[in-house]
Amino acid sequence: MRVPVTYGLFLLLYIFGSRIIFIPAGMAFGVGKYVILFLVFFLDILQIPFYFYIYEKGASKIKFLSKMESSKLLKFAQSLGSFGVVLVAAMPAFGGGMWSSVLISFLLGLDRKKSILLLALGSLLGCMGVVFGIDGLIHLFKV
């Protein structure tokens, strides 16, 4: 497959999917695991300011935020504190990831710089877990 088409499909999967879909698809398209790791981490980091902006400007207009304040995920993250933000950011499935972890960081009222570092750490750990986990499975079942 041609490189622009491959990366175009790769980016569409990132936008509409999660890491658990995006990373194996990238490997299936023949993109190297370190390239995938860098791209996913970079794209995750690009999302952080966008999500903070949405929450800051639209917090009073977004109805589900009041429901989120009493959600099980937020209560769990509050009990863990900063580690909760890292843990949710590292989750590769729907319900975890950058959108949810930025929301938790916002609702916990964490300092912005500290939040960005925690979110970046969680993203890196989550990306590494999925990339090297999938790579390990590929090598395990390779004939």
Tens of pLDDT, residues 24-51: 888 887 888 998 899 889 988 988 998 8
Q: What is the pLDDT of residues 61-95, one digit of tens each?
A: 666 666 666 777 677 777 888 888 898 899 877 65
Alpha-carbon gap, residue 76 to 66, rounded angstroms: 16
| pTM, full prediction | 0.81
Q: Which domain holds residue 78?
A: 3-141
Query: Is the Cβ–Cβ distance between 10 and 39 less than 8 Å?
Result: yes
**Cβ atoms within 10 Å of 120's Cβ, excluding its own:** 17
* Structural domains counted in the chain: 1
The pLDDT > 90 percentage for the chain reads 24
In this prediction, residue 119 carries a pLDDT of: 95
In 3D, which of 133, 102, 107, 135 has the Cα closest to residue 119?
102
Query: Is the Cβ–Cβ distance between 106 and 52 less than 8 Å?
Result: yes
